[in-house]
Amino acid sequence: MRSIVRKSILDVTPYLPGKPIEEVKRELGLKDVVKLASNESPFSPSPKVLETITRAARDLNRYPDGGCYHLRQALSRRLGVEGNQIIFGNGSDEIIVMAVRAFVEKGDEVILARPSFLIYEIASKIAGAQMKAVSLKDFRYDLSGMKKAVTKKTKIIFIGNPDNPASTYITQKEVVDFLREIRRDILFFFDEAYFEFVDKKDYPDTIKLLKTFKNIIVSRTFSKMYGLAGLRIGYGVAQPEVIDLLNRVREPFNVNSLAQAAALACLKDSKYYEDIKIRVIAQKRYFCQEFRNMGLKFVEGVTNFILVDVGRDSRGLSEALLKKGVIIRDMSFWGLKNFIRVTIGKPQENQKFIRALKAVI
């Protein structure tokens, strides 16, 4: 069947997710396994959110509201944008996929950083686009390098802000200068999956920038801080014209009803999630202190995960950690041969990881 398949997918490497806890338990015969590999929240959704999901489950015989009416109302109020400036996705991954589907044709170019979030590249390759990958400099975006990569064929520039796996961000001033210097008929995709964790005064207000720059999409998610990774819900914000174009390639019932109800309940339960943020930041301090004590270099970043230079083959190290019941992300697949990425978990999980790391190093 390879001879009749779309040529563009032949050099796509399927996304390799972090191993699920159950799989590691089964395969290695372990009882106690912690997962610090996929930047998920270690905390269950709030009691109110869980209650809402239970209630919403009674209507699972019905199709979901394709327009996400209640969630759209709440979010548009929260963000200060019109309802027709928002699109919801089955995870924010789907916003990326829809943007590529709507804007990128075979032979077009997209610009992205390397290493960066793999979905930008996978979605673009499927569409038959050419990748213009610009290496990070000191683990930050090289914006002048990205500017130089622009050609007549450029359609989208992907900016993970903060990005994964580097965890660093670009500032308001950097964003505005960059937007000013580049043609307005290129779409800037700002992926703000970790937006809720960032506490920096110079972090850009991209939603506000939408008023001046019509060529922006901002995506965010309920998967990280809000702990709904398993339900799959994220959103994109843009000018109505851009949202209208994205809606043409959206599946009619792309966001399930439990996800819609749960996301709305999350927005109403800010206190619970503010607390989680405080705990994550405290645990991040613990990690950084331990890494310093061990003499390991790391990129502290502004998210709920840390990129660590383990000073040796990260693949072997990751396998050794797995045998001790700790799942982290080996970064060699991203071209960072001596690096691992570790998500900040609950105190006990983090301590287990540090103990295991000390044992294998």
Residues that bind ligand PLP (CB under 6 A): 39, 91-93, 117, 160, 164, 191, 193, 221, 223-224, 229, 234
Q: Could you tell me the sign of the dihedral formed by the alpha carbons of 38, 44, 50, 54, in that order?
A: positive
Q: Taking Cα atoms as reference points, which of 270, 285, 273, 231 lies closest to residue 254?
A: 231
Q: Taking Cα atoms as reference points, which of 137, 138, 141, 185 lies closest to residue 162?
A: 141
Q: Residue 345 CB, nearest distance to ligand PLP (Å)?
A: 16
Q: Could you tell me the sign of the dihedral formed by the alpha carbons of 323, 324, 328, 333, in that order?
A: negative
Cα angle: 348, vertex 349, 351; to 5 degrees: 65
| Closest to ligand PLP by CB, 39 or 239 | 39
| Closest to ligand PLP by CB, 154 or 223 | 223
Q: Taking Cα atoms as reference points, which of 266, 285, 247 lies closest to residue 94?
A: 247
- Contact status, residue 345 vs residue 36, Cβ threshold 8 Å: yes
Q: Residue 67 CB, nearest distance to ligand PLP (Å)?
A: 20
Reduced to 3 states (helix: H, G, I; strand: E, B; else coil), residue 343 is strand
Q: Taking Cα atoms as reference points, which of 285, 310, 302 lies closest to residue 140?
A: 302
| Closest to ligand PLP by CB, 103 or 325 | 103
Q: Residue 91 CB, nearest distance to ligand PLP (Å)?
A: 3
> Measured at CB, which residue is nearest to ligand PLP?
91
Q: Residue 361 CB, nearest distance to ligand PLP (Å)?
A: 26
- Contact status, residue 126 vs residue 134, Cβ threshold 8 Å: no
Q: Residue 79 CB, nearest distance to ligand PLP (Å)?
A: 17
| Closest to ligand PLP by CB, 79 or 229 | 229
Q: Residue 191 CB, nearest distance to ligand PLP (Å)?
A: 5
